[in-house]
Structure formats: C-alpha cells, structure tokens
Amino acid sequence: MNFIFFMPDELRAESVGCYGHPLAPTPNMDALAAAGTRFDQCHVQHSVCTPSRCSLLTGWYPHVRGHRTLWHMLRPDEPNLFRYLKSAGYAVHWYGKNDTLSPESFADSVDVAERRGSGMFGSNPYSLDDPAYYSFLYEPYTGPLEEHSDYANVQAGIDFLQSKPEQPFCLYLPITSPHCPYSAPQPWHDLINPDDLPPLRPANLPNRPDFHRLIRETRRLDQLDEAVLRKIQAVYLGMTGYVDWLLGRLLEALDASGLAEETAVFVFSDHGDWAGDYGLVEKWPSAAEDVITRVPLIARIPGGATGHAVAEPVELFDVMATTLDLAGITAQHTHFARSLAPQLGGAAGDAERAVFCEGGYAPHEPNCFEGQPHRDQFARNPEHIYYPKGQLQQTHPNSVCRDVMMRTATHKLVHRPTGVGELYDLAADPLELRNLHGAVEYAEIQAALERRLLDWTIQTADVTPFGEDPRGHRKQENSER
C-alpha cells in the first residue's frame, strides 16, 4: 500500500464543507470523505506547527521529549514515521515546508525533500499606523500561479505520480495555505462574500485567558470594525477553497496514474486558526479552543469503508500508528498513538476516549519564547507582521504559560498553572462561549476531569527505550570466564 499525506497548514475542521460549514468551497475534500472515512473529532497535540508535527511523526505528546518550540525538531536519535517507512523499503518524497525534522534527520528518513515556488502572499495594504496593519489581512497573491509555493509543491507531487513509481512510496505534501497572512490567488481570495458568513464568535467574553485581551490590544484588533474580521474569515475560507482545488488536481493525477487502487490518501492539518473568531487572528501557543485544536482528518484506503463518519474523539498522532499498521510495520519505540485501521474499515471509535493538547512555555525555558532578538528578525522590526507576538511573549511571559487541554466527547478542561483555567460543557455550549471553570454546579465534573488529567500525566510522563543495557561489569565477567 502506498501513502499520500496531504497536509495544509493551519486548517481548522469546521471550515470544511463535510464538517458542516455552509459556505466552504471544498468539493474535493467532501468527495474524499464520501469515498472514505471522516473523523469528526480529531484534535492535535499542540497548537503550533513544529511541535504538532513532531507529535504526528512519533506518537509522543510534547512533554515526552520537550518538543514544544519552533526550534526543537526531531533528531537522529528519535523515532519518526518516515524513517520507519524508508527502512521498510518505501521511497519517501517530501515537497513543501519542513517544521519537523532536524537537518541531520533527513538522510535516513527521506529520499527526496524539496520546497518549490517563489511566491506565497500578496502585500500588506495598510500603513503601520492603521489599526488593520497587524491583522494579517493582505492583498491577493498576483504572481504567476505556477510560481505560487503551494501550487509548485503539489505539482511536484503530481510529477512524481506521473513518473509511475515502481517502488512503494510515501508522498508527503506539507503545503502552507491557509496559514496566514490571509491572502490567496484569485478567484479564491474574494470567493466568499463576508456578508454571507454565519455570526463570528464574539470578542471580550468574560473569564477568558489574558492572552485574548493582550493579543487584541497589541495587534490593535480591538480597534477594528467587525467587517474587517468578517473579511478575514471570508479570505480564510477562500484559501481553504484554493487548498481544496490543489487536492483535486492531485487526486486527478492519482487516478490517471493507475495507482489509486493501491494508495491510501490522508488529508489532515497541524492545527487551526482563529480567523476572526473571538476577535482574534492566527493562533497562540497556549490556546485550546476547538477552532485551534480540531482539524480535519479524512482518509481513503484501498478496500476501506466508504462514507463512514467517526464521531468519537481521536488524536492527530494516530496517523502514525495507523500508517504503521496498514504498512505491516511494528513500531520499535513506546508511543501513545492508536491505530485507526478498524475505523477505516467501518468500526466506531472509542466513546470513552479523551484527547489531549499541550502548549506554552515555562519560566525556566526562556530560550523557547518567541521574540528573542538574537534569533528572531521580527523582534527587531516593528514593521514585521509578527513583531507584536514576540513583544507580547517577552513582556508578558505568563500570557504564554504552559497549559494542557483534555477533551472528551462532552466536556473540555484546560489547566494552566499560572493562568485562567477553562471548562466547557460542549453539549450545551459547542462554541465555547461560557467558561464554567470553578462553577459550583460543575464542581464534580471538573474534579473528575482533573483526576483523569493527573492520571494521564503520570502514565505519559516518559517513555522507556526498547533497547537494554547490561547491568554487570562486562570486562570483569569476561575475565572470570
């Protein structure tokens, strides 16, 4: 069985048609779900690109080996899914962004790794003194479509399929859209009318983490008219439509290659985006709303179920365990991912399962905070779109404190040692508008979730290597023989 992993960046599940959005221009994702399995509640293990992808390839939560920053990627002494596949005889072709492997890890994990294209976004139309300057709302991309980075990388994958590879392969396409800035080629940039959107989740809700307010203030989002926020979400949906169009081109090429009947196709993302909801843009390392942690996971495998939807919670890193299972490869490291192969065959999920997402930094790791002048160019340039983010983390470190989110089918608990805790009754409040943390009427539920979170922390605190070291003094034992 071959594998294709099509991975948009920052794509939240609710902005895809088959997940319920009434305006989502995603016919190809919807068709893939109709031909395979859609996981309705897939949640990531971290809300930022690099640590989320490290979890994806290892089946480890971020705390297991400290993968919680943009600058700590998987190293040669650590396991990763692509090394397993390459060692088993798969040709691993990677076209798109990295954010996952350290430079030394490519040699034994990937056969071809390229990032193509020369353009990605339009320009910022606002002056620095305009409140919309830091909103990430940019003009459309106007360069040649063939030079757009996402187009070029998907085209590289299409070229690979058209080469009729004989060796079993894994084609990995980690593209950038719909990651902000919010900008897409036309017609996608202006495809969605902001006036047609459902209501945005409101800003300034009570009892929220302080980073909600601080992000709005430092990015001057609190000075924007809601029309700007609605345009942001409309462009985000347009970017999602562009991603879907690229997926359609890839699937057409797969069909034309004659390899579709022996190739598993997975579509998923590393995390979501506020995209104007709650009066916010982008994401934050310690954010845990569903628009940030819930991502699409759609899979079509040879001989698998069709039109199947799994309502029960799963975790993004389950892709690792599922791929090894389908490939007949036994993992040689301790991990916490579960194979979803039974669900791809039509089975239901585990209704009692809880899923977990971690994030943020602690005071003892100042090197992790964004905005380090020696490392981050944007920290020295107020005109850079990420300047407010770095400044906020440096001046208010508790705003990006560590957190852990636990989500069951019915409730969500977010624990922050130095920040506002959160508790939501998802059955009554699916948009997470009312924080019930500390509410007397939910005290028993909160206590039960906290006990379960403590148990999870203990059970996943570390991993024991499979290899064993001798306990005796080898030289002495040899001499005695």
Residue 477 has what pLDDT?
Answer: 54
How many residues are present in the chain?
A: 481
For residue 481, pLDDT beyond 60? no
Q: Is the pLDDT of residue 419 over 90?
A: no
Mean pLDDT of the chain: 96
Cα 445 from Cα 226, distance rounded (Å)? 36
pLDDT tens-digit profile of 193-240?
999 999 999 999 999 999 999 999 999 999 999 999 999 999 999 999
Over residues 5-29, the pLDDT tens digits come to: 999 999 999 999 999 999 999 999 9
Q: What is residue 472's predicted lDDT score, i.e. its pLDDT? A: 86
Q: What would you report as the CA-atom Rg of the chain, rounded to the nearest whole angstrom?
A: 22
Q: Is the pLDDT of residue 480 over 90?
A: no
**From CA 228, how far away is CA 275, in angstroms rounded?**
11
pLDDT category of residue 475 using cuts at 50, 70 and 90:
low
pLDDT of amino acid 474: 66
SS3 248: helix
pLDDT score of 137 more than 60: yes
Q: Which of 29-33, 36-40, 393-397, 464-468 is least confident? A: 464-468
End-to-end CA distance of the chain: 51
Q: Assess whether pLDDT exceeds 70 at residue 300.
A: yes
Instruction: Give mean pLDDT, residues 410-439.
Output: 97
pLDDT category, 392, cuts 50, 70, 90? very high
Instruction: Name every residue whose Cβ is closer than 8 Å to that of residue 12 and which is 6 or more positions away in sequence.
Output: 269, 271, 272, 273, 275, 290, 291, 292, 294, 295
Tens of pLDDT, residues 364-381: 998 899 999 989 989 999
> What number is the average pLDDT over the span 167-191?
98
Q: How far apart are alpha carbons 144 and 185 in whole angstroms?
A: 9
Q: Once rounded to an integer, what is the mean pLDDT over residues 444-459?
A: 98
In DSSP terms, which residues pair with 172 in a beta bridge?
Answer: 5, 94
Q: Considering the entire predicted model, what is its pTM?
A: 0.96
Amino acid at 277: D
State whether residue 355 is helix, strand or coil. strand
Q: Which of 226, 409, 401 is nearest to 311 (CA)?
A: 409
Does the structure show a pLDDT above 60 at 479?
Answer: no
User: Hey, what are 69's tokens?
Assistant: 């920053």
What average pLDDT does the segment 255-276 reach? 98
